[in-house]
Structure 1
Amino acid sequence: MQITQAHSSGENAAASSRPLVVRLHRDDDVVIAREQLIGGTRLPEENIAVSGLIPPGHKVATRAIAQDQPVKRYGQIIGFASRAIEPGEHVHIHNLAMGEFDRDYAFCADARPTPRADTPATFDGIVRADGRIATRNYIGILTSVNCSATVARAIADHFRRDTHPESLAAYPNVDGVVALTHGVGCAVDPEGEGLALLQRTLGGYAVHPNFAGVLVIGLGCETNQIARMLETQGLTEAPSLRTFNIQETGGTAKTIAHGIEIVEGMLAAANRVERQPVPASHLVVGLQCGGSDGYSGISGNPALGAAVDLLVANGGTAILSETPEIYGAEHLLTRRAVSREVGEKLVARIHWWEDYCARNRAAMNNNPSAGNKAGGLTTVLEKSLGGIAKAGNSNLVEVYEYAERVDAKGLVFMDTPGYDPISATGQVAGGANLICFTTGRGSAYGCAPTPSLKIATNDALWNRQQEDIDLNCGPILSCEKSIEQMGAELFQLMLDAASGKRTRSEIHGYGQNEFVPWQIGAIT
């Protein structure tokens, strides 16, 4: 990546030295505006003048591009010219479109030995009796069906520190009691994929290390019977995993009282924890990007990728996800697969999504969103190429389906939708004990019981919404810091958050409403 200097007639000497655009690869047909560019601005190193207004984060053509010709960014195809494009023109939805092209999967071609840290990093974690490592210490209330959501919320509300401070006053080591409710669980095929996904998700949360205790509440007549869910997930009731149904308990008021009583019985044991230094190899970090912009693939995502490489070097695990948002860039991951089998698993998930979209009369290019496009992203190909930068340069060691338990060390992939709450819910169900979430447009997101760090891609977002952001990667764009420097800062921030430092989303109370299991299949 290089920063290209730009000049505009009449500018003073100080202003003329400002870096105005970013070139990401020598073969690119576009450069990225670092700030708004006006018509007539000269880009001497590109030997062009800007034509018209170019918003921040948007693309400028550096050469003439004929209609139907491919357009490259990151040295890769991001789309095809829908009409002839002149040098200096704004390249966006009005002249760039999706198109089909062959990808060379070149399985394992770029896989390399994984470097190891000279001095392994540590964080202050919570060691459970069975050896699992937690980054937080919650009691969770899960629901088998939407019908039990209201009582679950009422039970959790009884233990809110802001409204009922006395309820947890004697338990300072308990981070809170959270209700994770959802809108499904009935009127589905009892043997279908949709129910299996929901049960796998709930099962993953039920055994998540960040929960000291879990209560599961059902209605009683739903398709998603609690006993069957426990059976399919290999779970049994225990002092730290309790269940009951509203119909058996006798109604709403009795259910809420009974739930409060059960949670109160879990608190003393939950409070008997102490943090202690543990290796960073116990970190399982879910990678997310939401509200992406034209800078995401230049600053925030590459910085997160650099932090991921440090995490992997320390023996930890990073989960890349959002399959529709690696579409068109998956060949860059298959090249890093440790085996052809792993690479083929990823390609199989891509094909599943192509079929899934076709069955539902949708298109993979439904993504980017309106906000993504306003921020400079034009096609899903462009978004995907920036998105995989979150994965750094580490080998791809395994591919998982949604909410499957992640047991491999290193960089892995989990098949999820691109919608952040659904994607992160799957990652946490798989065992993620930390989420890192980059954003260029802005985000207000949390993910109980797992802390979520939010990373801004640019100074403007940081200045506007820093109460919700944990780290600003804008200094990469202004050349004040390198990607490697920001990656090292982010890795330390990961260790701090895993050690108990509250993230911005935790301070604001986010996390319960963002539990969104993937709903798939017919509802009858």
Structure 2
Amino acid sequence: MAAPRVLRLHQDDNVVVAVDAVQPGAAAAGVNALERIPKGHKLAAAGIAQGQPIRKFGQVIGFAGRDIPAGAWVHEHNVVLQEFERDYAFATDAQPDQTLRPDEAPAFFEGFRRPGGRAGTRNYVGILSSVNCSATIVDFIADEIARSGVLADYPNIDGVIPLHHGTGCGMAGAGEGFDLLTRTLWGYASHPNLAAVLVVGLGCEVLQIARFKQSYGIAEGAQFQSLTIQESGGTRRSVAAGVAKLRDMLPAADSCRRTAVPASELKLALQCGGSDGYSGLTANPALGAAVDMLVRQGGTAILSETPEIFGAEHLLTRRAESRDVGQKIVDIIAWWKAYAARAGAELNNNPSPGNKAGGLTTILEKSLGAVAKAGSATLRGVYRYAERIDRSGLVYMDTPGYDPVAATGQVAGGANVLCFTTGRGSVYGCKPTPSIKLATNSDLYRRMEEDMDIDCGDILDGVTIEQKGREIFEAILRVASGERSKSERLGFGRNEFVPWQIGATM
């Protein structure tokens, strides 16, 4: 029987990762396993005394909660977290902007040029609620358009999508929560993947449409319309009025055509969910290689999920283009610690039960693998949630780790395509931005092939990170040009618009 495969990820590591399940007594990494080590989990490659650091990726992922003998399974039963100093070394690893290598040609995709110059990868018409009180009306209008069959006359429109949320009232009319929500709504209302938007309100909510339009200088026309239920005369009249407004907007939206657009116009959202012990070995570093390719083309990649970079933030501060950019990351982490404490929680309440079953023991370990999605480019900017991304290269947006909320912020910031790595099997999809799913292991890909776009598990069988990164990059260009991702074919995206509710609900 062949010896089980294990990986030592850095010469300083005192644990190895089991690529295959390791049975008791089996030889691996120069030691004999004392117990069964599940796939994706960690085996002690040497004895680790109680209180000593446990190292993976060459970084501290936790500390031995008791003496761990060589060959033991290393997981939550014998690993603890404790505070330790990190060297932020601001901007010490910053490099000049990446440029195309001699073997790389300028890349293009077939996209939609919008007024103002931004480029979209889809041509949707959106129906956006200003408040949860109008959420059902938004659905009714979308359903009526679908039943009418009118979209058959407009083949260049990808669809009419309802986008509703759970807030908009019962909140302060000023301050952090209100600003965040209006910024998110504006990010969607002006998104380059939407040719036109209808905003529907109740009429008496805190987030008034008239104030919203005034704040962002919005004039109604072929790309933007609005109505309120109270002014329209109730449910049926509001649905009829909404359908009529959309019918008037469809011809202009249908007149949009795809044209060749340089890859520098792509803004790629980076997400991971349902992670496992393979995430930091396969899909995340492969996506990082694709990010490096995109950055060399002049494009933008958006790393997010602040609770899931906690413990790896020092890797980003070193790559920041300046101390000021790096300090923003440190300040965000401090804000999150206080935010979690107010709710009686801690940032290290991660990983989730599914993450742990997949081999991730601590938030530090999860974060170190998650940061691999960002490749090696210099960090060029740090943005608030849903803030418009106005720089090229690798940037960071402060978001929660919860995938729908995080992705909503990235899309509001302008992300026109999204890559999502998963090891346990997330079925997330997103509209108006297409989501490409990357499976970290081949077992998952085979089990959920209808949901997964790319199998990254073959990296464990000899495919290089660079080769898989190229495969991902080419898939990004195809999807940006109109090829539908698996989640799009399944119809995901109607319920995944989830703005971050950060303020008090009153």
Q: Give the Cα–Cα distance (whole angstroms) in 2 for the partners of residues 439 and 342 of structure 1.
A: 29
Query: What residue number does 2:111 align with?
Result: 125
Q: Give the Cα–Cα distance (whole angstroms) in 2 for the partners of residues 379 and 233 of structure 1.
A: 43
Q: Give the Cα–Cα distance (whole angstroms) in 2 for the partners of residues 129 and 271 of structure 1.
A: 15
After TM superposition, the runs of 4+ consecutive aligned structure 1 residues lying more than 4 A away are none
Moved more, 404-413 or 362-371: 362-371
TM-score between the two structures when normalised by the length of structure 2: 0.98
Q: Is the 8 A contact 1:39 1:49 kept in 2?
A: yes
Query: What residue number does 1:5 align with?
Result: none
Per-residue displacement from partner, 1:295-329 (whole Å, max 9, x unpaired)? Answer: 00000000000000000000000000000100010
Query: What residue number does 1:428 align with?
Result: 411
> In structure 2, which of residues 484, 495, 504 is the aligned counterpart of residue 513 of structure 1?
495
Amino acid at match of 1:266: M
Q: Give the Cα–Cα distance (whole angstroms) in 1 for the partners of residues 250 and 378 of structure 2.
A: 42
Q: Is the 8 A contact 2:286 2:469 kept in 1?
A: yes
Q: Is the 8 A contact 1:456 1:469 kept in 2?
A: yes
Q: Give the Cα–Cα distance (whole angstroms) in 1 for the partners of residues 344 and 80 of structure 2.
A: 19
After TM superposition, give the deviation of residue 114 of structure 1 in Å: 2.6
Is the aligned partner of 1:248 residue 2:248?
A: no
Is the aligned partner of 1:496 residue 2:482?
A: no
Q: Is the 8 A contact 1:404 1:429 kept in 2?
A: yes
Aligned pairs for 1:231-270 within 5 A = 231-270=214-253
Q: Is the 8 A contact 1:289 1:438 kept in 2?
A: yes
Query: What residue number does 2:352 align with?
Result: 369
Label 1:103 to 1:258 Cα distance change in 2 as closer, same or farther (>3 A): same
State the secondary structure of the residue aligned to 1:159.
helix
Amino acid at match of 1:500: G
State the secondary structure of the residue aligned to 2:195.
strand
Q: Give the Cα–Cα distance (whole angstroms) in 2 for the partners of residues 233 and 93 of structure 1.
A: 49
Q: Which runs of 5+ in 1 are unaligned?
A: 1-10
Query: What residue number does 1:314 align with?
Result: 297
Query: What residue number does 2:427 align with?
Result: 444
Query: What residue number does 1:226 align with?
Result: 209
Aligned pairs for 1:159-178 within 5 A = 159-160=145-146, 164=147, 166-178=149-161
Query: What residue number does 2:258 align with?
Result: 275
Is the aligned partner of 1:148 residue 2:130?
A: no
Per-residue displacement from partner, 1:191-237 (whole Å, max 9, x unpaired)? Answer: 12111111100000000011110000000111111112223334332
Amino acid at match of 2:367: S
> In structure 1, which of residues 27, 34, 37 is the aligned counterpart of residue 22 of structure 2?
37
Q: Give the Cα–Cα distance (whole angstroms) in 2 for the partners of residues 436 and 321 of structure 1.
A: 12
Q: Give the Cα–Cα distance (whole angstroms) in 2 for the partners of residues 132 and 396 of structure 1.
A: 22
After TM superposition, give the deviation of residue 115 of structure 1 in Å: 2.6
Amino acid at match of 1:520: I
State the secondary structure of the residue aligned to 1:56.
coil
Query: What residue number does 1:158 align with?
Result: 144
> In structure 2, which of residues 90, 94, 100 is the aligned counterpart of residue 107 of structure 1?
90
Label 1:54 to 1:446 Cα distance change in 2 as closer, same or farther (>3 A): same
TM-score between the two structures when normalised by the length of structure 1: 0.95
Q: Note the aligned Cα RMSD (angstroms).
A: 1.0
After TM superposition, give the deviation of residue 129 of structure 1 in Å: 3.6
State the secondary structure of the residue aligned to 2:450.
helix
Query: What residue number does 1:23 align with?
Result: 8
Query: What residue number does 2:314 align with?
Result: 331
State the secondary structure of the residue aligned to 2:424.
coil
Q: Give the Cα–Cα distance (whole angstroms) in 2 for the partners of residues 165 and 438 of structure 1.
A: 37
> In structure 2, which of residues 156, 159, 165 is the aligned counterpart of residue 182 of structure 1?
165
Per-residue displacement from partner, 1:54-97 (whole Å, max 9, x unpaired)? Answer: 11100001111111111110000001111110111110010011
Q: Give the Cα–Cα distance (whole angstroms) in 2 for the partners of residues 337 and 87 of structure 1.
A: 38
Q: Give the Cα–Cα distance (whole angstroms) in 2 for the partners of residues 233 and 28 of structure 1.
A: 52
Q: Percent identity?
A: 58
Q: Is the 8 A contact 2:50 2:65 kept in 1?
A: yes
Amino acid at match of 1:508: L
State the secondary structure of the residue aligned to 2:149.
helix
Q: Is the 8 A contact 2:98 2:377 kept in 1?
A: no
After TM superposition, give the deviation of residue 165 of structure 1 in Å: 7.2
Query: What residue number does 2:124 align with?
Result: 138
Q: Is the 8 A contact 1:158 1:167 kept in 2?
A: no
Q: Give the Cα–Cα distance (whole angstroms) in 2 for the partners of residues 519 and 267 of structure 1.
A: 32
State the secondary structure of the residue aligned to 2:319.
coil
Is the aligned partner of 1:61 residue 2:44?
A: yes
Query: What residue number does 1:382 align with?
Result: 365
Q: Give the Cα–Cα distance (whole angstroms) in 2 for the partners of residues 236 and 97 of structure 1.
A: 56
Q: Give the Cα–Cα distance (whole angstroms) in 2 for the partners of residues 130 and 338 of structure 1.
A: 28
